Amino acid sequence: MDIIESRTWIEWVITIAKFAFCFVPVLYILLLIPMERRGAGFMQDRQGPNRSYIKIPYFGKIRLLGYVQNFCDGTKLFFKEMFAPAGVNKFLYYVAPAIPFAIVFLSPCVIPWFGPMVFDWGGKAVRISGSIIDSEVGVLLLFGLSSLSAYGAVLAGWASKSKYSFLGALRTSSMTVSYEVCLGLSMMGILLLAGSFNLTDIVSWQEHHVWGIVAQPVAFFCFLIACIAETGRAPFDVAEGEPELVAGYHTEYGAMQFGLFYMGEYSHICINSFLVATLFLGGYSVPFITTETMQAHMGGSLAILCGVLAFLVLAFLHMIYRYSRKLKATNLTHRFEVLREYSLYKICAWVAVAVLIALGVCSWFFYNPENFVVNGFAVGSFATAVGTALIHLLVLVVKSVMFCWVWIWVRWTLPRFRYDHVMHLGWKIILNIALINLVVTAVVAKLVGGN
């Protein structure tokens, strides 16, 4: 697993720049929290938090569709007093919340963010893998790291000298252990088909055959359930079941220490959704189009991407205009203030539409880098490689956001399982289905004559 193979400076730059992907889960927190809160609101026919605002000249109170609320809450958590109850183990108590949060920065290192960038640089073919570490044991490393976050919960429960925390920690550890087994086994089918632990290989197998969700629908289902259970969110949040255990392992925590647990949980969702997208939804691969086709028509692909984005912005604009019209007809006393606020969004969105369309047209006509063939491989120019990586990244993000939504959706729909039900589901149902699925896959793969 050489991180850096050749000596060109561009390769160094990109390899180092890839470390920025470590921050993706943290950025996802910024997306997930508003999504969860407003999504939960909508599902319960509420409006969700939408009152906090930033005041700017002319446009007045800017609420960013309720987004400002999260900054307020973050600031509140950050500036609250940190305290430890009497009799706790000080060192472990303070270290515990940092563990799940630190894992967050390590886990993304094996996820392939884009297909391997192969391009021609000064007559030399350069190949840069899409993950930070292109490891042969990619998936295993990811599982190892993500289950480490259970240590945070266990230590927190142990160190806080509270029976609620302790029980919560016990439940977390048992649940993580049992669902880790299901997770591993349900994923085995797709590994078997792809014949590799390397996530990049798995994705390229899916790109050239079918997506994992088509090849392994049962495994996908088991994997999704086990993933949701592993993050310890409803309906599997027995570890912090409010009716029995106050708040489980973080009962005794407040302020930013609680915030760290909270962010750790959200980042865990992010990582798991990336994992599901990578293993079963073709990762970075664009549906129905192979990377080669895309690279051959680089400008056109970018133009289509810009078109899709412009369409989304136009849909947003339509919503804003529609709602402004309805708002004008009401007799809310603050309606003109809100309309003033919306005019800012309208301006921004129209500018975005114009820019996107301009970019699309430009790339259609002017961004047509030529491709070379070196040693039998199609090797494009640097520009092609960057364009491909960009599209791949966006596709992966869209897929993972879709799965993040599944997490939120499930949480606000299903009631919590009882603890023994969770164990029953894990060990007696999902594990067995995953095992049968694995055996069937192996037999079929052997008969059909795969690898």
Partner 1 sequence: MRVIKQRPMNWIERLYIFEAIRGLWTTLKHAARGLFRYETLPTISYPEGQPEIRNTYRAKHRLMLRPDGTPRCVACGMCAAACPAHCIFIEATQSDDPRIEKRVMRFDIDHLTCVFCGLCVEACPVDALRMDTKVISFEHRTREEFVSHLFDLTNWDPKDYPNDPQSQVAPGGTKNAEALKVWGMEVK
Cα(171)–Cα(165) distance, integer angstroms:
10
Q: Is there binding between residue 409 and partner 1 (CB under 8 A)?
A: yes
Q: Is there binding between residue 90 and partner 1 (CB under 8 A)?
A: no
Cα dist from 65 to 62, 316, 322, 338, whole Å: 8, 12, 15, 11
Cα(394)–Cα(15) distance, integer angstroms:
19
Of the residues 12, 19, 23, 42, which one makes contact with partner 1 according to CB under 8 A: 42
If you count them, how many residues does the chain have? Answer: 451
Of the residues 12, 78, 91, 323, which one makes contact with partner 1 according to CB under 8 A: 323
Please identify, using beta-carbon distances, which residue of 23 and 42 lies nearer to partner 1.
42
Cα dist from 318 to 35, 63, 94, 322, 337, whole Å: 20, 19, 49, 6, 20
Number of Cβ within 10 Å of residue 340's Cβ equals 15
**Contacting residues for 375 by C-beta, under 8 A, at least 6 apart:** 125
Of the residues 214, 361, 374, 414, which one makes contact with partner 1 according to CB under 8 A: 414
Closest CA to 100 of 273, 269, 264: 264
| Ramachandran angles phi, psi of 200, nearest 5° | -65, -40
Minimum CB–partner distance for residue 242 and partner 1 (Å): 20
**Candidates 42-50, 52-60, 108-116, 133-141 — which segment interacts with partner 1 by CB under 8 A?**
42-50
Q: Is there binding between residue 317 and partner 1 (CB under 8 A)?
A: no
Kindly list the strands in the beta sheet with 377-380, ordered across the sheet, starting from the edge strand earlier in the chain: 124-128, 117-121, 377-380, 371-374
Of the residues 6, 15, 31, 41, which one makes contact with partner 1 according to CB under 8 A: 41
Minimum CB–partner distance for residue 3 and partner 1 (Å): 42
Please identify, using beta-carbon distances, which residue of 281 and 430 lies nearer to partner 1.
430
DSSP-based three-state secondary structure for 287: coil
Contact 279, 42 (CB under 8 A): no
Please identify, using beta-carbon distances, which residue of 47 and 290 lies nearer to partner 1.
47
Q: Is there binding between residue 55 and partner 1 (CB under 8 A)?
A: no
Q: Is there binding between residue 427 and partner 1 (CB under 8 A)?
A: no
Q: Is there binding between residue 436 and partner 1 (CB under 8 A)?
A: no
Q: Is there binding between residue 83 and partner 1 (CB under 8 A)?
A: no
Q: Is there binding between residue 375 and partner 1 (CB under 8 A)?
A: no
Residues 325-344 that bind partner 1 (CB under 8 A): 326-327, 330-335
Q: Is there binding between residue 44 and partner 1 (CB under 8 A)?
A: yes
Torsion of CA 47, 53, 57, 59, to 10 degrees: -10
**Candidates 43-51, 203-211, 257-265, 286-294 — which segment interacts with partner 1 by CB under 8 A?**
43-51
Please identify, using beta-carbon distances, which residue of 326 and 428 lies nearer to partner 1.
326
Q: Is there binding between residue 432 and partner 1 (CB under 8 A)?
A: no
Please identify, using beta-carbon distances, which residue of 308 and 327 lies nearer to partner 1.
327
Please identify, using beta-carbon distances, which residue of 40 and 296 lies nearer to partner 1.
40
Minimum CB–partner distance for residue 197 and partner 1 (Å): 30
Q: Is there binding between residue 413 and partner 1 (CB under 8 A)?
A: yes
Torsion of CA 8, 120, 289, 108, to 10 degrees: 0
**Contacting residues for 74 by C-beta, under 8 A, at least 6 apart:** 259
Residues that bind partner 1 (CB under 8 A): 38-39, 41-48, 319, 323, 326-327, 330-335, 409-410, 412-414
